[in-house]
A and B are shown apart, each in its own frame.
Chain A
Amino acid sequence: MSETLDLTLKVWRQPGPDASGRYVEYKLTEISTHMSFLEMLDVLNEQLNEKGEEMVAFDHDCREGICGMCSLMINGQAHGPDSGTTTCQLHMRRFKNGDTIVVEPWRARAFPVLRDLVVDRSAFDRIIQEGGFISANTGSAPDANSVPIPAPVQETAMDAAACIGCGACVAACKNASAMLFVSAKVSHLSTLPQGKPERDSRVQSMVAQMDLEGFGNCTNTEECQAACPAEISVSNIARLNREFLRAQLCSKE
């Protein structure tokens, strides 16, 4: 197995939100298989910088798979070919010498391209602002074990809390639906005692905002679950549907 790769990149370049974009081809040689995908893009940008060309803009922050900033559609797959992995944790050993790699931004009307591979994911922030929090005043920290939470409930909540808000679910869905993201947040907060008081209003507000932002509707293709780096399950979407129906039928308001 060769330790370095020669690659052709086809990268979406778009100077600004309203500008038209196109794919630009770049050749890279001697890329170490130990590099992460983003380090490979760093190499490309250094070379572009040396030549005095505009560098490729892409989102990233922690580079250790926890912040949810990195994105990228790599050869038609959100976060690349590995399952349960963010782009920053994808390594170049996943590719072969001579490969052509197509790199595109997330595509969704609700996630407009800002520049090159960077999209505006503030629609997610606005959904969170509608109810992705707990506002009941819970006082000072209670004694340990004074608020009992059964282990299965805690597991459900913590599995859902693993969502890093990256938007790969929207990117991978043929309908650009945000149901997996919203269902993770609703499941996380509404199954725990601290989140229960706002259970009904939360799901109603968050779903209303989700619809307002122009995300699509779920058709249960389950591509989101397969693309999700945090491996959020579509069973959360069923819970979201249940919570929504429950709130519609039972809530006071």
Chain B
Amino acid sequence: MVTKLAEKQQSSPSTGGKSATKWIMTLLSSSIGQKFVMGITGLLLCGFLVVHLAGNLLVYVGADAYNGYADKLHSMMLLPVAETGLFLLLFAHMALAFKLTRDNERARHISYQEPQSKIEEKPSVFSQTPMGNTSGWMFLSGSIILGFLVWHMIDMKLQLNPTVDYDGKKPYGIIVDVLGSYISAPIYIVGTIVLGFHLSHGFSSAFQSLGLNHPKYTPLIKKLAIIFALVIAVGFVSLPLWGFFIR
């Protein structure tokens, strides 16, 4: 059956996806397609966070365990590939964050005198911030995370932290110095707490963006998001606190 709508589609150049590139462009240029990418990249980054946290919690086991983990990791052939992938994920996530946020500011070009929420039951105290609902400041929290990540790269990849002596040290020695650095410790503490807030909305939001919403599991995902955010934030925050303490 050829319906009016289907006819229209076939004749319309933007949606008649005969070629694969055109199809992908339609998907990626649409608001919903961009939210898919945002959600998938966000969740994959969450997966990275779990692995990254687990690895770094080894500092509590001891120098040998941590050095062993770090050496194994760095001897992996595919590490550069994985790192590039991770960078691309983050880049896609950020590029879309900027694009969508700019679109959204354009769409609501005038604000109300005093907008008031009509949401009666707030999801949880953890998703409340001094600035209101966490979902309202995803861009700001993301930007703070970005700042933290830049400094993290200066610390660990470029090894340019002026308060750390990198010479001839094993990974454990470097991480202890970095975590105890009076520049890095505050940045790490703030960065990872803000990351927790980002995730308390982001984790469950990603499922909704991917079309996964059902009374069966959505309440569970929302609770899981809070727990996940807490585990990640507490886990990572403990590291600079510990580093500062043993310094």
Contact = CB atoms under 8 A, between A and B. Distances in A.
B208 A110 contact: no
Given A76-B114, A108-B108, A239 B211 contact: yes
A50 interface: no
B82 interface: no
Given A107-B108, A174-B136, A83 B120 contact: yes
A245 interface: yes
Interface in A113-140: 131, 135-136
Contact of B119 (A108, A222, A248): A222
Interface stretch (B11-19, B47-55, B153-161, B228-236): B11-19
Interface string B119-161: 1100000000000010110100000000000000000000000
Contacts of A23: 113
B32 A244 contact: yes
A205 B15 contact: yes
Q: Contact size class for B? A: 35 or more
Interface of A is mostly: mixed
B112 A217 contact: no
Interface in B7-54: 8-10, 14-17, 23, 26-27, 30-36
Contact of A135 (B5, B110, B111): B5
B118 A108 contact: no
B120 A207 contact: no
Interface of A: 10, 23, 73, 75-78, 81, 83, 102, 104, 107-110, 131, 135-136, 172-177, 179, 197-198, 201-202, 204-205, 207-208, 210-211, 214-223, 226-227, 234-235, 237-242, 244-245, 248, 253
A38 B36 CA distance: 42
A204 B34 CA distance: 14
A184 to B, nearest CB: 14
Contacts of A218: 31, 35, 209
Contacts of B115: 76-77, 174
Contact of A226 (B3, B120, B208): B120
